[in-house]
Amino acid sequence: MKLIIAIIKPDRLEAVKQELYKADVNLMTVNEVLGHGRQMGVTEVYRGVKEMGNLLRKVRLEIAVNESFVEPTIKAIIKGAHTGEMGDGKIFVLELAECIRIRTEERGHEAIG
């Protein structure tokens, strides 16, 4: 079992979702985060007070998958999120120790899908 975390541009979320559905990945958690990578953020100015390199809005997806779904999920995220410009984001793949479905108390592989 793996936990896939992807940081993408907010306006690519819809495309990524559609690609994931095509790859038969229908379960995900999404939240809004702030961040920047190498491209840095933008300047903000409030009544002349400057705030340099501020953080940009990003979207973070968390998807728990069984081994066989790891590569299809990664491919789907890349297909949906890739624009070729800086700030397209990153995908992290983590080992997942356990997964429990609260309703049925199932554990492991059954609980994920």
Binding site for other proteins (CB under 8 A): 9, 11, 14-15, 18, 32-34, 42-46, 54, 56-57, 85
Q: What DSSP string describes 8-20?
A: E-GGGHHHHHHHH
**24 or 44: CB nearest other proteins:** 44
CA distances from 113 to 46, 98, 107 (A): 48, 13, 11
**27 or 34: CB nearest other proteins:** 34
CA distances from 24 to 17, 27, 68, 73, 80 (A): 11, 9, 12, 9, 14
Least gap, CB of 45 to other proteins (angstroms): 4
Least gap, CB of 87 to other proteins (angstroms): 8
Which of helix, strand or coil describes residue 97? coil
**56 or 111: CB nearest other proteins:** 56
